[in-house]
Structure 1
Amino acid sequence: MLYWALIFFVVAIIAGVFGFGGIASASAGIAQILFFVFLVLFIVALVARALRGRAP
């Protein structure tokens, strides 16, 4: 998921350089959403792993 967020970020930068503001804005928004979803899933995985390690 982080890979796709990075891809959309690069697309947003390239579109912005070439003057496609709408596409750049949409790609940046998608990249931001994917990045935050990645962060939430990463934190959930860390907490799950920490709780699993403490179980008897």
Structure 2
Amino acid sequence: MPETIRFHLDENISLAVANGLRRRRIDVTTTPDEGLITVADEVQLAFARSQGC
């Protein structure tokens, strides 16, 4: 079975990018969706890793 591609995008990436990836069935979380706006990069990375991104 192929591995699923997963991405976490921070607030500096346009939501249009996330929407485009989602249309292609790529699993994407975003900083605004997860309530992580203005959170340090280290916390963003820890979140992404915890989600398998």
| Alignment TM-score, normalising by the size of structure 2 | 0.31
Larger radius of gyration: 1
- Tell me which of the two structures has the higher relative contact order, counting C-alpha pairs closer than 8 angstroms and 6 or more residues apart: 2
Structure richer in helix, relative to its length:
1
| Alignment TM-score, normalising by the size of structure 1 | 0.30
Structure richer in strand, relative to its length:
2
